[in-house]
Amino acid sequence: MKNGTKIGPTSAQTALGESFLTRAGLPGTLTLGASYGYANVANEPTNPITENLTSDRYWVHPSLAALVQTQAGGAPDTRWSSKTRTVALRTWNNVSSDIKPVMYNNNAGGTSVADLGADIPIIKNEELLLLSAEVNLGLSNKLAAIADIDSVRIHSGGLAPTTLTIVSTDSAFVTEILYNRLMSLLWEQGVRWIDARRYGRLASLPIDRPGDQVFPSMIVPAGECDARGLDSPCTPPVTP
C-alpha cells in the first residue's frame, strides 16, 4: 500500500525490480539494506531499545515460542535462537514470560548486555525476498514464490526447504510467508499484527486475559481526523 492506495502484484513486481533485491551472494547479502545508525560515542544517538537481560522493559510474548520451527537436527530456527534468550519467569498483570529479546545486545562470551551502538534495520534484502514471494504468489507463480521462501528459510533460519508445492493452497503459502516474515523481522518491525490484519487473520492472535481484545485498526490521531473534517475518534476510509 502506498499513500493509502493498494498496489497490485504487477506494480509491486516492477517496484521490486527497481530495488536492491538480489539473490546473489546469499547468505551474506541477506542483511544488505538501510539501517538507522547508532553509536556509543559522545554527541551521537544511541540505540533506544537495547537493554541488559536484567532489565524489565522488554519481554517476548510466549505465543511466539510455540510457532518456532526446528532444523533437521532439532535445534530451533536460527533466527529465533539468535534473537532471544530464556531467563527466569516473570509475571505482570497475569501475563507471564521467560523470554527476553537480545537482537541488539552484545552477546560475546555467552553474556548479553546492552549495545548502545547497534544499528536497527529499516529494510533489508531478506525482507525484499519475502515480499517477492508474496508478489509471486499474487501472480500465481508458485515455483518462484517457493524459491524466494527457501532462500530465506535455508540461509537465514537454517531450516529445510519448505514442503510447499505448486498444488499447495494459497492459504498455505500465506502461512509460510508470514512465518518467515515474523522470524526474519523480529524486533525490527511490528509485522505480526500488520500481517494478520491485511490477511484477515486477526483471530489467530493471542488474547491473554478476559476482556482483552485484538484491535482491528490503529488509532488515528485527532489532528488527522480534524484535517479530514471528521469527528474524533475517526476511521478514515482506505482508498481502494
pLDDT at 5 over 80: no
pLDDT at 4 over 90: no
Secondary structure (3-state) at 82? helix
More confident residue, 110 or 240: 110
Q: What is the pLDDT of residue 239?
A: 47
Q: How far, in Å, CA of 103 to CA of 120, rounded?
A: 9
pLDDT at 51 over 70: yes
36-69 residues labelled b (16+ CB within 10 A) or e (exposed)? eebeeeeeeeebeebbebeeeeebbeeebeeebb
Among residues 207, 137, 213, which one has the least CA distance to residue 172?
137
Band of residue 232 on the pLDDT scale cut at 50, 70, 90: confident
Q: How far, in Å, CA of 92 to CA of 77, rounded?
A: 28
**Distance separating the N- and C-terminal Cα atoms of the chain:** 10
Tell me, rounded to whole angstroms, the distance of Cα 118 from its chain centroid: 18
Single pTM value for the model: 0.89
pLDDT at 145 over 50: yes
Helix or strand (DSSP H, E) at 105: strand 105-106
Q: What is the pLDDT of residue 238?
A: 54
Q: What is the pLDDT of residue 240?
A: 40
Band of residue 108 on the pLDDT scale cut at 50, 70, 90: confident
Q: What is the pLDDT of residue 88?
A: 95
Percent of the chain exceeding pLDDT 70 equals 95
- 171 has which bridge partners? none
Band of residue 14 on the pLDDT scale cut at 50, 70, 90: very high
For the segment 63-107, what is each residue's pLDDT rounded down to a tens digit? 999 999 999 999 999 999 999 999 999 999 999 999 999 999 999
For the segment 185-211, what is each residue's pLDDT rounded down to a tens digit? 999 988 999 999 999 999 999 999 999
DSSP state of 42: T
**CA-based angle 143:145:149, to the nearest 5?**
120
More confident residue, 111 or 129: 129
Band of residue 230 on the pLDDT scale cut at 50, 70, 90: confident
Q: How far, in Å, CA of 109 to CA of 88, rounded?
A: 20
For the segment 170-183, what is each residue's pLDDT rounded down to a tens digit? 999 999 999 999 99
Q: What is the pLDDT of residue 220?
A: 84
